[in-house]
Amino acid sequence: MKKLWLTLILALLVVIGVACSNSEDSMKGHDMSNMKEEDRNNHDMSNMDNTNKGEQSKKEKFPSTRTTQVKTGKEFTLTAKEATHDFGNGTKLPVWTYDGSVPGSQIRVKQGDKVKINLKNELSEPVTIHWHGLPVPNSQDGIPGVTMNAVQPGKTFIYEFTASVPGTYWYHSHQDSVNQIDKGLYGTLIVEGKNEEKVDKDYTLVLDEWISSGESSMEGMDHGSMTSEENKNDTDNSTESMDGMNMNMDMEDDMSMYDLYTINGKSANNMETLKVTEGDTVKIRLVNAGYISHKIHLHGYEFKIVSTDGQPINNPAIIKDQTVTVAPGERYDLVFKANNPGTSYIESHDDTDATKNMVAKIVYDNSKKANDKLNPEESIPNVDITKYGKTTKSEFSLDSKYDVEYKMNLGTAMKDNSMVYTINNRTYPNTEPLNVKEGDVVKVTLKNTSKSADHPMHLHGHFFQVLSKNGKPIEGSPLMKDTLNVKPGEEYVVAFKADSPGNWMFHCHDLHHASAGMVTAVKYKGYKPSFTPDSNANNKPE
């Protein structure tokens, strides 16, 4: 009998030992010893997210995103970190953020401020910050391998510059940017002008698109991972292969995987609410952080477009019931008078089902009146920004004398069953640079030879003036921009002065296209970067 009891006790001890061993194994990969107390408190292990496929279900759940902060002053810290974002429509996705929010913190400074920004990287991959549209010294432009080395995990980099030009700008990572921006790594930067017109309410609306299936570019989808290191040994200069997303080439651009459109990271179910008081002068800053153009309709108001890409429009006309198309990388500032009490909407009128979630709501104080309805399928005329405002004297004209002239044919080609995007039949880094010397006046012709793909072209470090469209001079206000959307078959002539020495990128801001080759550089003769490229930094500038 004693023998039987001894056998049972031994068996029980074995079972307990196995159970303890399994319990210990089940915690592997969830070591919280190095986690901040704040993160431990938010680290809910009881409800592991099993909605994402593959390894995601085994990973620890990150803290939820926070409300976007507005930071003022002259010195800031931006922390790149992971989070879980609830879009309000039943979709939760892992995201990468600046300061734990989507969009990241808004930085507001005053014209002339000397600004210091500490980028702290708490992510598992290198990152940078590019100050999109804002003139900064070349060393502060945030391009890995071109102006700096990417900021490694656990490290901090300090950006310093003077906020010299007022306007609406945004910032984003330029390291593997097609994927890192897709994950949410962006925010806005506002430079308040010394003499700008005062408004009562000032709202920023960031437009973006997401893949709601959970197979976002966080892990499940690589939108194109062509890097300069992969291409340097490629002897075929006319086309390069694009690793990653293998597009079916019946169409040049298939963006249908982006099935959730948002404003400030919110869907229609928890849409952004803009509170106003009757009589307010209201400014709406539209920023496109995504890869698709959006036609934005401000319901029920007369309004003016007072600037684009931070640059003022001369004598803007009052318009109503017209959409404003905001292409990737572009910004438009609208101003209206709050004289229509009740609830009204700002929404996208794109030709997709996803557009129904790109909506914000204007709500008046002390008013419960609901006098507006959503109508995203209604066809509304679009403002032609090349004919908007009034002509006045400008720095450049088609008849000006130019020191450098450069033509960019923006095209597409096939390589190894994948689509590549070309400038003059070449892909980066084999594209021919635009070589200038300081003081040169430069004219660039941009022609889209693609069959169906838009190319929103962004020039770093400079504003350019748009002089003509399809052979006809611009009719409206002088149009100064840093990002210009060139549609299939269109041709624009633009001009700028080479007044900021450095090595600057000029690329398509549909970053699928940039990562697949549509990048060139503006290179100043005699300029030498102040950093040494590190082969171990994993620099991915596209």
Per-residue model confidence (pLDDT) at position 415: 84
Tokens read off for 387: 């004919």
Phi-psi region of 455 (alpha: psi -120 to 50; beta: other; left: phi over 0): beta
In SS3 terms, 159-175 reads as EEEECCCCEEEEEECCC
- Which range (17-26, 89-98, 397-406, 518-527) has the least confidence? 17-26
Q: Is the pLDDT of residue 47 over 90?
A: no
- Element holding 7 (H helix, E strand): helix 2-26
Q: State pLDDT tens for residues 445-463.
A: 999 999 999 999 999 999 9
Burial grade of 265 (CB within 10 A; 0-12, 13-18, 19 or more): buried
Closest CA to 286 of 312, 316, 263: 263
Per-residue model confidence (pLDDT) at position 204: 98
54-60 mean pLDDT:
40
Distance CA 332, CA 323 (A): 12
Tokens read off for 467: 């002089």
User: If pLDDT is split at 50, 70 and 90, which confidence band does 261 have?
Assistant: very high
pLDDT higher at 175 or 237: 175
Q: Is the pLDDT of residue 256 over 50?
A: yes
Distance CA 536, CA 485 (A): 35
158-173 mean pLDDT:
98
Per-residue model confidence (pLDDT) at position 252: 61
Per-residue model confidence (pLDDT) at position 77: 98
Per-residue model confidence (pLDDT) at position 32: 30
Across the strands, what pairs with 335? 283, 304
DSSP SS3 for 456: strand
CB 321 within 8 A of CB 393: no
pLDDT higher at 256 or 314: 314
Task: Quickly count helices (H) and strands (E) in the chain.
Answer: 5, 32
Per-residue model confidence (pLDDT) at position 417: 85
Q: Is the pLDDT of residue 533 over 50?
A: yes
pLDDT averaged over every residue in the chain: 85
Per-residue model confidence (pLDDT) at position 542: 87
131-155 mean pLDDT:
98
20-27 mean pLDDT:
36
524-542 mean pLDDT:
95
Task: Write out the DSSP string of 220-288.
Answer: T--S----HHHHTT----S-----S----TTSS---TT--EEEETTB-GGG-EEEEE-TT-EEEEEEEE
Q: Is the pLDDT of residue 228 over 70?
A: no
pTM for this prediction: 0.84
Residue in this structure with the two tokens 């624009």, named with its chain if needed: 492
Q: Is the pLDDT of residue 360 over 50?
A: yes
92-97 mean pLDDT:
97
Per-residue model confidence (pLDDT) at position 368: 74
Q: Is the pLDDT of residue 25 over 90?
A: no
